[in-house]
Structure formats: structure tokens, C-alpha cells
Structure 1
Amino acid sequence: MVHSAPAAPVLCTFPNSQQLQTALAQFIVRAQKESIEKKGRFTVAISGGSLPKQLAALIDNPAVKWDRWQVFYADERVVPLDHEDSNHALNMRELFSKVPIPHQNIHTIDPSLADDLEELADAYEKELIREFAMKDSARFPIFDLILLGIGPDGHTCSLFPGHALLSEEDRWVAYIEDSPKPPPKRVTLTFPVLNHAARIAFVVSGESKADTLHTVLDEPEKGLPASRVRPAHPGHIYWFTDEAAASKVQYPRTPFKL
């Protein structure tokens, strides 16, 4: 069997957040168009942190076909869905409450299972199975797009440096109960899911991320979790950053174009 080499990251930098958000929205709309034309739906996984704010240019964009989106969370904190630590609550506040996306198209964890993290993770995995396995018959789900951020320690989703979950090879969704960053209980997509995506887009801004971004892109051999996100061909990985975040990066930049 011939295995394709992972796609090399594409780094696109922008002078400010407004230009970054505009380009990111154009990129997402293009991915949406291709996916809907191919199979009638657009499957997306979204993380939390500062990412939802960077999606502001989608809110009044008439090209976004919200009724065709199927949204999952790349990771989620095991808290009530309206809790201030919930990625769902954050995405609702910043994006989904402002657009006409059908409620049933946003797939959340079941907080009533919070006392049994394995059952909770299994239940969320079954949500993915209903969306993907029944339609695509894939060993792992192939998201049209996964939108991610990075933490100061290089973590992405809830995949933290040195944690046992970095070596998970089978599960689609895994749980963590000892997160080094509060809250401690979380569920997360695993590397096999991330690395089967058709497209990954990391969105990073601010000077505080400059050292981390340098390590992730210029020193991938250090193995930070974000460096390990390398979808196989035909998957592609893109980094949308502002100049402040990319100020220490030596990795070659690519002019943004559709």
C-alpha cells in the first residue's frame, strides 16, 4: 500500500485582524461551495478560545449557506452548555446566535453524562458516526473543514504536550479528566480525525503567540501537538495569522489567494 506524504502547511499572514477575518471568511465560503456541490452538505469542526471571534466576517455574508452546515466541536469542556467555559456557549455568543443556522445542525455533547466521561465521549462519537459513517463509510470521519487555534504550550483541541492522548490511534472522540488547563474534564477529537480532514485551518493572532508559532512551524521536530496536525493528501493545512503572531516565524509565507 502506498501512503501519501502529509501536506506541507501553507502560511498566510495579514497586517491586521480585519484582513485576516476577511480572507478566512473567503476561504471558508470557498470550501463550503466545493463541499455542497460535491455532496450537498458542509461538515465543520470548530474549536474555542479566540477562534469564534475571528469568524465575524461570516455573520452578514450572503454566500454562507447555513442550512447546509453540520457543525461539531473539535473539543469541548465538560460543563453545562450555557456555562462560561463551554466552547458551545462561546460559539453561540460570538457566531451562531447571529446567523440562521438550524439548531439541529449544531452537534453538542450531552452534559447529563458528565459523571461518566467514557459514556459522554462515546455518545459524542456516535453523533459523528450518524453524520459520517452512514454516508461516507470511512474508517475515520473526513471533515470538509476543521478550524483550530493553538495555546501558548502548543496544544490544540484538548491535546496537550506529553499527554497519553497524543498516541490515540483508534477512537474518534476521547476524554481527558486531567487537563493541565482548567476545566480539567474535556472531550476532544483525536489526531486520526484531525489528520483525515480535507482541510485544516489554524487561526492565530497576537504577539503572545509568536514564540509558540515559531516552534510549531520552524521546529516541528519538537513535536508540539499543533505540529502533529498534518492531514494526508488530499488534505491541506493552512495557517491564517496576523503579522504579530508570525513575527518570529522563518517558515515561508504564501500570498493568500483563492
Structure 2
Amino acid sequence: MTTDRRVLVHPDRDSLAGAVAARFITKIIDILDENDEAHVVLSGGSVNTAVLAAIRNSPAQNNVDWKRITFWWGDERFVEAGSADRNDLQAREALLDHVLVDPAKVHPFPSTDEIADLAEAAEAYAAELAAAAPDAALYPRFDIMFLGVGPDGHIASLFPGMSGVTETVKTVIAVRDSPKPPPLRLSLTLPVIRSADRIWLVMAGSDKASPLGLALAGASIEEVPAAGAEGRRRTVFFVDQDAAAEVPENLIAPSY
């Protein structure tokens, strides 16, 4: 696993979203030039949703062959399909409904409309991952995984001090007592997250300064799950100036 972790700082939230969008378009075109398909994992949250909207609004997105991209999610709130709380609904409204994706390659987590039991929903998504995996693998090779980071350092729905952070057998877990509402959630586990070639953590705001600083300083994953987010090839923290307040100058990269 790579130790190439970079911090890229942008002046504010808007410039951050635009820069990540531009980087995504460039990188996904490169990936599709080298491969028949790409697998991308999306994240919820206002900043990551702003990135998706910036991708949609970029003229360069017309150069992306969207039908060759398979989309997954890192976590989801276990609510009804039409709920505004759902990450997949936010992603559809920001980007996916506006580009020519293949509907069969968009894989949202189950909603309560589809599967009433949380544990069964987790098993169903794990089976969906396995069905798309090569050979006997349990999940696809993810080219880019977007993650948000909470003020408490959580990623996906892996929260500090909860058993899901250290789960190593299951690929998808049922979260029943999330400290952040709603309490019922579904989440990829850390081994699946760390299997991604590239992990892009997008963070904005002064309340993200502490978890970012702790993650870079090597905090335990039990205390700061974001510290465990390391991609196979590259891990990049895309942050705004406020979130970078506690990052040592020598850790800030001049470019991607």
C-alpha cells in the first residue's frame, strides 16, 4: 500500500469544488484511455455534492465517456428511496441525472422501500459488489473513491469508537446506532475502502481542521477513522484554507 499522501489546499470552498471537479475529469479520461471501464465510489455531504455539481457544469465533462463508468457509494442512510437524506439522490440531482450514464452501472445502496431489514440490505449490497468483482474477489477494483470526513474524523459511516471501524471480514456493515442522524446506515468497511487505487478526501471548513491534523499525525483509526484512509496508489486530501489550519507547511503539496 502506498504511503503517498498529499494535501492540496485551495482558497475557499468554491475553488476547492472546481479544482476537484477538474482533476476528476482529467483523471477519469486518462483511466478510460487505459482501461475498458472505470469504477468510482461517490460520497455524500455538501462538499462532495458541490464537486459533482461542478463536474456537471464543466464543459470538459462532455469529453467523458460516462457509459463506461460504474458508480458505487461509500455509505448510505437507510431510509426510503425518495428521501432527501439519501446520498444517491443528492448525487443524481447534482450530476448523474445530467450525464449519459448507463443506469445498469449505477449501484445505490438498498432503500427501506426495497429491503426492510438493515442486515439483509448490507448482505444484498455485499453480493452486488461481489457480482461485479473479477474472478473470486469480493469487490471490484475501484479507480477513484471520494470520501468526506466528519468533524469527529469519521469516513463513510465508520465512526470513532464503534466496532465497524475495525471490521475486517465483512465488506458492508449495518450501522444501527450512528451518532449522526439518521441512526440506521449502511457502509463499506475499511478494507474495501483501502482497496481503492486512489482515495480523494474532500474537506472544507474550520471544523475539519482538527480531524485532518490528527489523521496526518498518525492517530489511531479507532479514534480517527480518516487516519486509515489510504489508497493503493495515492491518497489526496483536497481541502480549503480553513480545513488546512493545522496542517504543517511541509505536508502541503504544490500540485497533484
Output the TM-score relative to the length of structure 1: 0.89
Output the CA distance in 2 between the equivalents of 1:179 and 1:190.
15
Question: How many Å separate the matches in 2 of 1:140 and 1:123?
Answer: 13
Aligned CA distance change for structure 1 residues 63 and 255 (closer, same or farther; 3 Å): farther
Q: Name the counterpart of 1:183.
A: 182
Structure 1, unmatched stretches of 5+, are: none
> How far apart, CA to CA, are the structure 2 residues paired with 1:247 and 1:114?
43
| Separation in 1, partners of 2:175, 2:73 | 15
2:43 is the alignment partner of 1:47: yes
Q: CA deviation at 1:57?
A: 2.5
Please give the TM-score of this superposition, normalised by the length of structure 2. Answer: 0.89
State the Cα RMSD in Å.
Answer: 1.9
CA contact (8 A) 2:170 2:189 kept: yes
Q: For residue 172 of structure 2, what is the aligned residue in structure 1? A: 173
Q: Pick the aligned partner of 1:240 from 224, 238, 250.
A: 238
SS in 2 for 1:239: strand
The aligned amino acid for 1:37 is D
CA deviation after TM superposition for structure 1 residue 194, in Å:
0.8
Secondary structure of the corresponding residue to residue 54 of structure 2: helix
Partner of 2:97: 97
1:24-60 C-alpha deviation (Å, 9 max, x unpaired) = 1232123312332333111011110121112223113
Q: Distance in 1 between matches of 2:210 and 2:129?
A: 35
CA distance in 2, matches of 1:140, 1:128: 5
Aligned positions of 1:141-180 closer than 5 A: 141-180=140-179
Q: Distance in 1 between matches of 2:83 and 2:50?
A: 18
Moved more, 79-88 or 99-108: 99-108
Q: Which residue of 2 aligns with 1:133?
A: 134
2-side partners of 1:89 and 1:227: how far apart? 28
Aligned counterpart, 2:252: 253
Q: Which runs of 4+ in 1 moved over 3 A?
A: 137-141
**1:64 corresponds to:** 64
Question: Is the Cα contact below 8 Å between 2:207 and 2:243 reproduced in 1?
Answer: yes
What amino acid maps onto 1:43 in structure 2?
A: H
Structure 2: gaps of 5 or more residues: none
Give the whole-Å Cα distance in 2 for the aligned partners of 1:87 and 1:127. Answer: 18
Which SS does the other structure have where 2:107 is aligned? coil
CA distance in 2, matches of 1:195, 1:127: 19
Q: How many residues align?
A: 249
Sequence identity percentage: 32
Counterpart position of 1:106? 106
Which AA in structure 2 matches 1:188?
S
1:179-227 per-residue CA deviation (whole Å, 9 max, x = no partner) reads 1111111111111111111000000012222222222223534740001
Q: 1:26 aligns with which of 22, 29, 33?
A: 22
**Corresponding residue of 1:16:** 12
CA contact (8 A) 1:24 1:55 kept: no
Contact 2:164 2:189 in 1 (8 A): yes
Distance in structure 1 (CA, Å) of the matches to 2:64 and 2:13: 20
Q: Secondary structure of 2:62's match? A: coil
Aligned counterparts of 2:224 and 2:103: Cα–Cα separation in 1: 35
Query: 2:7 touches 2:237 (CA, 8 Å); kept in 1?
Result: yes
Alpha-carbon separation, structure 2, partners of 1:130 and 1:122: 12
